[in-house]
Structures are given as C-alpha cells and as structure tokens.
Amino acid sequence: MKQEKSSLEKVFNRPATRRQLIKAGGIAALGIAFSKPIIETLRPSVAFASGGQTFEPVPSDPIYMEAEEMDLFQYQVEPARPHLIKKVPGAPGTATAPFPGPDGNYRVDVDVAIEHDGQPTLELWIGGEFIQGWKYPLGDTGFPIFTLQGPTLYVANGVEIKLVGYDSEGAWARVDRIIFTPKA
C-alpha cells in the first residue's frame, strides 16, 4: 500500500525531512496532535542521567518530616500534644531520620511550638554538616506553632536529617515537623 504524499512533500517533489516539515509548517505539519500544552507534553516524567541512571523530578508539593516519626534521643512525644516532640531534661535532644524525598533544591523550614517562659534553641544538621541554628521567639501560652525559616540548599535522597534541641529556662524545644519546599 502506497502512502499518500503530504502537501509539503508535493512542493518539495521528494519526501520531506522532519526538519523541512517543521520549518515549513511547524509541528502541526508533522500531523502530531497535542492534548496538553507542548511544554507539558515534551517534558518527561522521568529524567535520564549519564550512565543509564534515572531519577524522579523534584515534586512541586512540600515534603513533610513529622518529628514524632523520627528516631528520638532525649526527646519524647508529648502525651498532651502527640503531634509534637518535647526535649526531656538533661543533655541536648536529637531527632534523626533519612530524607525521604528525591534529590533536589529545597527551602528547609521547621515548625516548632513556642513558649512564653523561655527561648530554647534548635540546630539543623544535614549529612553531618551544621546548616543553621535558631533561638525560639517568645510566644503566648498554649504553645502556638511558629515556622523557623531556613535556607535553600541541595538535599539528596536518604541523607541524614538531624535536629538538635537545647532547653532554656524551662522551655523544652518542642518540634512539630520539618518542611522541605522544592525550589528551582
């Protein structure tokens, strides 16, 4: 069965190359119909790196690491508020877990519960490197949640994320979660 020549092939009087078809009539000349915008259609859902490795693109929604689900030392889940961890008296407390998201650039913030009677401090460590420290602001009674804003940096999947909390004046460095917001 002989295939019908396109109108552009008739103009060229020979089979046209893709380059000629696109130059002469745009992508529509190839007979390709797009149901999505072309950028979405052409963007792969999985990118390929050298050596045949694949990786998932960075998600657009934040990734949350709930503090109560991390490995805790000198911290405990607060019975009255099970979404928070509270440092116990004594040595500094740590909450540790591997980063669950794909490799990428993220702004790293931490939701904490602030107090009215003291200002504990908290440190963020990623992959064994100190990233940032914060002194909690004073707040109202009732332990309102406050977001400690952190830097934007590259975070690799599986790297150790560690929070180190220090109590102060009866304030116990309570933590809710770590928020990783993807950035381009």
Domain CATH code at residue 142: 2.60.120.260
What is the rounded distance in angstroms from the CA atom of residue 85 to the CA atom of residue 120?
Answer: 13
Whether the CB-CB separation of 168 and 120 falls below 8 Å is answered with yes
- How many structural domains does the chain have? 2
What is the token pair recorded at 93? 């407390």
Residues 101 and 164 in one domain: yes
Residues 33 and 79 in one domain: no
Write the CB contacts of 89 (distance below 8 Å, at least 6 apart in sequence).
167
pTM of the model: 0.69
Residues 18 and 69 in one domain: no
> What is the residue-level pLDDT of the chain in tens, covering all 184 positions?
555 555 544 544 555 555 554 455 544 444 444 333 333 333 333 344 445 555 555 568 999 999 999 999 999 999 999 999 999 998 999 999 999 999 999 999 999 999 999 999 999 999 999 999 999 999 988 899 999 999 999 999 999 999 999 999 889 999 999 999 999 8
Identify whether 49 is part of a domain: no
pLDDT at 29: 44
Residues 97 and 25 in one domain: no
What is the rounded distance in angstroms from the CA atom of residue 171 to the CA atom of residue 116?
Answer: 8
Whether the CB-CB separation of 99 and 158 falls below 8 Å is answered with yes
